[in-house]
Amino acid sequence: MDFQFPQGLFGVDSKGNFVDAWKRVDIQFRAVGTTTWYGVATPTPGITISSDAMREYSLSTYEIRSNANKQLRVGIRWQVAAGQYDVQVTSYAMGWNESVQHVGTMIWSALRSISPKPASSTGTLKLAVRIKATGQLNGIVQNLSVLA
């Protein structure tokens, strides 16, 4: 699951300095057809967060914090048993000091899942690549070298 702040996430104080702003999101999931929601929190297996800007705040609530005037992307992933799931995100109001202007429109930009199947039914070899998205990554990977 990825979140994006296209204009960044920051505050500007009365002197023009960039200061911290933050957004909190609560992430939950449940198996399709069930009524019990589970928070994505410790000890959910396999939690991985893609950026230091995002950290677990409490239970299934995560805080995204930044003071940078540039696009911000954060992601979180976790493991579940095979099946179909509903996922919900509750976004809380931004936090900032009352005396600052703030920027921080958040977009839920991706929800991905993996279907564990054999990579090939044709007997050919396949390569999967996971790339951490940064400001340096844009478009299609043109050159990729592999020693196998």
85-91 and 48-49 strand pairing: unpaired
Domain membership of residue 57 (yes or no) is yes
Question: What does the radius of gyration of the chain's CA atoms come to, in whole angstroms?
Answer: 19
Domain membership of residue 147 (yes or no) is no
pLDDT tens column, 43-65: 778 898 999 999 999 888 999 99
Domain membership of residue 74 (yes or no) is yes
- Whole-angstrom Cα distance, residue 83 to residue 116? 11
* Whole-prediction pTM: 0.75
What's the confidence (pLDDT) of residue 53? 94
Domain containing 71 equals 2-110
- Whole-angstrom Cα distance, residue 70 to residue 53? 13
Domain membership of residue 53 (yes or no) is yes
Domain membership of residue 10 (yes or no) is yes
Q: Does 96 have pLDDT greater than 70?
A: no
Domain membership of residue 75 (yes or no) is yes
- Whole-angstrom Cα distance, residue 34 to residue 137? 39
In the chain, pLDDT over 90 holds for what percent of residues?
43
Q: How far apart are the two ends of the chain, measured CA to CA in Å?
A: 31
Domain count within the chain: 1
